[in-house]
Structure 1
Amino acid sequence: MASIVIAEDDRDIAELLKTVLSNAGHAVQTAPNGAAALDLIERTLPDLVILDHHMPGMSGLEVAGRLRAEVGTAAIPMIMLSAATPAAARQLFDVTITKPVRPKHLLEAATELLAAQDPHHGTAAQLSDVPRLLAVSDFLSRPAHVAGLDAFAERLAVLAKVPTGAITLMLNDSVVVAGSFGMPTWVREAGGVPAEWSPDAIVVAEDVPVLIVDSQASGEYADTPLFAVSGVRSYASVPLHSPEGHVVGTLCVMDERPGTCTEDTVQVLHSQRAAALSLLTPASQAPAGA
């Protein structure tokens, strides 16, 4: 859900646009003129601003100019609505839409601008890469030696000197726990967690290790159920590759105590990637020198 401010002096149009965007799950506020819009935007700092051009007192172009000139509001994405778009609008607005506005067109433009502001937008695209997903599906379709994977996860936790370890496979929207030790019961029963709950989404999408020394300090994942409900404070994860080089999952460890996962922990995980792959891949398909 995003916060959106619409400035439109025609009440019927304002209510129509508010309904369309509210039905899409956004929190929408309206302003009847440019001055009211400027005040509302500066007080609430919304995620998106939609400005009609021809408004009494202060035009949408003037409002946009004021917003772009202020550090606190300069980066807010803006859409202009106008029957005749002024040339200067293209220097201030991200998108210009000609009136009469088609609600579907406005919703599509708003969705695209908001997605571009989302730091996880690129992550989602990379997780949905088809060759990568086919490689993950290949692993998931093989009969799993669960006991062996769980024993591996236990060894991983022991080597890292933390209470919890796991080997995972990453789909486009979820982390599948292939083997685990010390994992919360609710995660084991569910078989995994949504991708947005786990730092493993970043590990897989960007093919980089992630180290969280203290989730309460970093803040990014502190409020997700994996951390908030389970009390995880320290976390380390490294990417796991298929024989063809696709990032299919991770090796990860975690602890309720802050500071137990360190750079040394990451190195331990790196050292176990070949062993993990050997449990997931038949010998005939194992990569040379993994």
Structure 2
Amino acid sequence: MASIVVAEDDTDIAELLATVLSNEGHSVRTALTGMKALEVIAESRPDLIILDHHMPGLSGLDVAERVRADEATKAIPVIMLSAAAPAAARGLVDVTISKPVRPRHVVDAANELLAARGSGEQAASGGATQLVDVERLLAVSDLLTRPAQAAALDRFAEELCRLTGAPMAAIMLVLNDSVVVAGSHGLPTWVQEAGGVPVEWSPDTIVVAEDVPVLIGDSATSEEYANTPLFAVSGIRSYASVPLNSTEGHVVGTLCVMDDKPGTCTEDTVQVLHSQRAAAVNLLSRAG
């Protein structure tokens, strides 16, 4: 049996997670705010922490930063729940899980992290392994080798701009070393001419590696991306991206929108992108 702290301001979700984790034999304490979560963590020294990102007062990201800064708690595995994981969370939490929450997904991630901690090993989160997965790369290559309906994909990207209010949008296919533009509207000229960017320049790497959305409200505050060419050269400040899953379940690419103004992309933007994923995959699959 493990000790788990769940920090979630939605009481229904908190109770649901407490129930399913308790049914697995774990001891669960809940907190409705970030500050209360820190108090419970300091008091109980749990084996695992589950944090909602958006909470009153201190956010999940704030709590994670304080947990990692404290010698007594920095080694505790952390799961973050968010409709769109902030890019900064990548270096602070072990696993990010998209909302709406699937309880089984949370339980499986919790058990994997706890098992890894018990054995002294680091749990595999997918990460780089997902990027180089052979079956995934074959699925991406299949889409890339089809004669693409570029005009249709570009129109789709233009419609994304209209729906989200962002001036730039793209349908991206992600290989192990590059992010390829399949369709776009409003992208910087150099990105269009190059046909994409290296994976290390793009937050889409996180989206594909971890199968989660990513939201950057202001790239200037992101230690990971502020100085990469995609942001520094193009002046992009706001970014939202969601994964595109093939019919076989592989994460083949992303839908993303961006703006040179901070704060344009929000969780509402992410939800709009989610609503367009099926149409985008359908368009990619029948391209040709």
Distance apart, 1:274 and its partner CA:
1.1
Q: Distance in 2 between matches of 1:167 and 1:218?
A: 23
> Does the 8 Å CA contact 2:136/2:251 hold for their aligned counterparts?
yes
Matching of residues 278-289 of structure 1 within 5 Å: 278-282=282-286
Matching of residues 119-268 of structure 1 within 5 Å: 123-268=127-272
> Does the 8 Å CA contact 2:126/2:210 hold for their aligned counterparts?
no
Distance apart, 1:122 and its partner CA:
5.9
Does the residue aligned with 2:179 lie in a helix, a strand or coil? strand
Query: Scaled by the length of structure 2, what TM-score is found?
Result: 0.56
Aligned residue type for 1:228:
A
Matching of residues 31-180 of structure 1 within 5 Å: 123-180=127-184
Q: 1:273 aligns with which of 237, 262, 277?
A: 277
Distance apart, 1:158 and its partner CA:
1.2
Q: Distance in 2 between matches of 1:184 and 1:124?
A: 27
Does the residue aligned with 2:173 lie in a helix, a strand or coil? strand
Unaligned runs of 5+ in 1: 1-70, 76-120, 284-290
**Could you give the per-residue CA deviations for residues 3-29 of structure 1, whole angstroms, max 9, x where no partner exists?**
xxxxxxxxxxxxxxxxxxxxxxxxxxx
Query: Scaled by the length of structure 1, what TM-score is found?
Result: 0.55
Report the RMSD for the aligned CA atoms in angstroms.
Answer: 2.0
From the CA coordinates, give the structure whose radius of gyration is larger. 1
- Consecutive aligned runs of 4 or more in structure 1 exceeding 6 Å deviation: none
**Could you give the per-residue CA deviations for residues 79-138 of structure 1, whole angstroms, max 9, x where no partner exists?**
xxxxxxxxxxxxxxxxxxxxxxxxxxxxxxxxxxxxxxxxxx963322000010011011
Number of matched pairs: 167
Higher relative contact order (CA 8 A, sep 6+): 2
Q: Distance in 1 between matches of 2:179 and 2:162?
A: 22
Does the residue aligned with 2:280 lie in a helix, a strand or coil? helix
Q: Distance in 1 between matches of 2:252 and 2:180?
A: 10
Which residue is equivalent to 2:87? none
Q: Distance in 1 between matches of 2:256 and 2:157?
A: 9
Q: Distance in 1 between matches of 2:147 and 2:249?
A: 22
**Could you give the per-residue CA deviations for residues 245-268 of structure 1, whole angstroms, max 9, x where no partner exists?**
100000000000000000000000
Does the residue aligned with 2:191 lie in a helix, a strand or coil? helix
